[in-house]
């Protein structure tokens, strides 16, 4: 039987918040005449960088929202993609803008980690 894991523990909400913040930062120069007031997000105003990162954040948020898509193996792939996004955003934009992806990846890895079997002789006797 396949084991399904839920992502209701905040990963999807954090991904949607990151996607909304990235979309706002990417659209800010088009809505207003100046650059975004947050210095750490100004490079997202460039369409060559902002649009792909917004689409990646939206894809991650959409994946984490649909419970039928979140099997253990798929969540591990999602955690890897999230940590790769963390590295790309840290390099291209800034570390403060990349923190949501680090938290999402680390939280997924913590959720899917299976406890190690106990090797204590007392544990073996109690079963």
The per-residue pLDDT for range 24-46, each reduced to its tens digit, is 989 888 888 887 888 778 888 88
- Whether 24 maps to a domain, the answer reads yes
81 has pLDDT over 80: yes
| Structural domains of the chain, count | 1
Considering the domain boundaries, does residue 126 fall inside one?
no
Residue 4: inside a domain? no
Is the pLDDT reported for residue 12 higher than 50? yes
Q: Which two tokens stand for residue 121?
A: 């002789």
Model pTM score? 0.78
Domain of 58, in residue numbers = 11-113
Q: State the average pLDDT over residues 107-112.
A: 87
Please indicate, yes or no, if residue 124 is contained in any of the structural domains: no
**Is position 6 within any domain?**
no
Q: Does 18 map to a domain?
A: yes
pLDDT value for 58: 95
Is residue 25 one of the residues assigned to a domain?
Answer: yes
Give the Å distances, CA to CA, from 53 to 23, 30, 71, 101, 126: 9, 17, 24, 11, 52
| 85 in any annotated domain | yes
For residue 21 the two structure tokens come to 């913040």
Q: Give the number of C-alpha atoms closer than 13 A to the C-alpha of residue 99, restricted to the C-beta side.
A: 6
């Amino acid at each position: 039987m396949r084991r399904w894991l839920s992502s209701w523990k905040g990963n999807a909400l954090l991904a949607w918040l990151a996607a909304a913040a990235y979309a706002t930062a990417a659209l800010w120069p088009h809505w207003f005449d100046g650059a975004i007031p947050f210095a750490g997000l100004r490079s997202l105003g460039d369409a060559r960088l902002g649009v792909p990162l917004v689409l990646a954040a939206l894809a991650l948020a959409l994946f984490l929202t649909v419970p039928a898509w979140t099997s253990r193996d798929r969540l591990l792939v999602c955690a890897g993609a999230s940590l790769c996004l963390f590295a790309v955003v840290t390099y291209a934009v800034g570390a403060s803008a990349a923190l949501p992806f680090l938290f999402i990846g680390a939280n997924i890895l913590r959720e899917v980690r299976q406890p190690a079997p106990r090797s204590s002789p007392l544990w073996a006797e109690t079963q």
